[in-house]
Each structure stands twice: as C-alpha cells, then as structure tokens.
A and B are shown apart, each in its own frame.
Chain A
C-alpha cells in the first residue's frame, strides 16, 4: 500500500523558516518524480514544486522560486521542502504527492505564518 506521511508543519513568524518532510512507503521511491502541492484555508489547490527521481532536476512555481527548496533522500525514502522567508500567503496545508501525475497524496501538514 502506497503511503505518504508529511510532517514538520507548525506556526512560524513571518520571515521564518520550516523544513517539511514526507516519508514514503509501499513503492520504489527512487523510481518516481515527487511533488509538493499546497492549499490555503478555504482555497484551491496550488502546485508548488517537483523533483526528478535522482534529484537532478527541480522545478518550482514562480512565487516560491528562491525561497523554497525541494530535495529528496532516496536512501531514506524521504522528500523534503525547505521553506524560507515565509509570508502570510504561504499559510496552507502542504501535501506531498507521488509522480508528476499526483496519483497518491499524503494527509498534509499545516503551515501557519503569523506573528
């Protein structure tokens, strides 16, 4: 059974940083692109970033370029999202999802940016 479990969310002040993690199991993690998607409270889905199987290629939505960094550790079956210079508009549930197609999703982790 494919499982994705996010962690690392929380309350952070504007300008702060967080590192989100996603633990994957039930599939060959190193064989798949992986993605992050977010959803602000009461709003729609927003594609954030994705990363190639070996980590050599990474892509981001425009508004997070330079502030967010996606990475992975295939030995640990884990995906990460380092988020810096946080803004109020980054408040959202952050989901990790498998592949470019986003076929499987985790339960999400809530990031709240507030002073």
Chain B
C-alpha cells in the first residue's frame, strides 16, 4: 500500500522561499507518478495548483512552481505572501489507476 509523506509543518517569513516535498514509500517519485499539488485554506474547498509535476493552471500564481528533486515531488513557493498560509497536499499516482494523497503540510507565514 502506497504511503505518501509530506512535512507536517513548515514556517516561512513573508517574501521568503520555501520548499515542500512529497515522498513515496514505494520508491523515488518520478514524472510517472504525475505529482499534483493542492492548497486548502481553513473552511475552504481545496484548490488545484500544479498538475503532472510542474504544470500550472491559469489561476496558479507565478510564485508557485513544481518539480522533482532527490526522488521527491517538490512544490516551491518563492516570494511568499501572507495569503499563502494554508495546508498543502500532494497527490500521486500509485498504479492501477489509483491515486494517493500525502498527509499535508501546514505552512505558516510568520
């Protein structure tokens, strides 16, 4: 059974840069895992940010970017804004047309 691990919490200063990662217990996360990233603020519906590793939606702010690094999926926020404080989830393909979310990273902007 695939387990996806994210940092439980991270703190970043306004204007700073932060990297969130997404790891799988089955091995290195590659493009074939199609990592996706979502943002969820308290009381709100999740919002898609990144699909298939690094592709952005029309509504994705330019300061968000996705990549692969060191066998993990990565979401990088550059020039963090106070409104970026939220929970971030990755989603990866686990095979057999099934998908698995990570446990989420609570990002605090302080």
A residues contacting B by CB (< 8 A) are: 35, 37, 44-47, 50, 57, 59-62, 95, 100-108
Contacts and interface: CB of A to CB of B under 8 A. Distances in A.
Question: Which of A35, A45, A107 has the largest count of B CB atoms less than 10 A from its CB?
Answer: A45
A47 B45 contact: no
B96 to A, nearest CB: 7
Given A101-B36, A102-B91, A45 B46 contact: yes
Given A44-B104, A47-B101, A59-B97, A107 B89 contact: no
Question: Which of B34, B48, B93, B100 has the largest count of A CB atoms less than 10 A from its CB?
Answer: B48
Contacts of B1: 62
B interface secondary structure, majority = strand
Interface of B: 1, 34, 36, 38, 40, 45-48, 51-52, 57, 87, 89, 91, 93, 96-104
Contacts of B36: 101-102
Contact of B45 (A50, A60, A106): A106
Contact of A44 (B45, B96, B101): B101
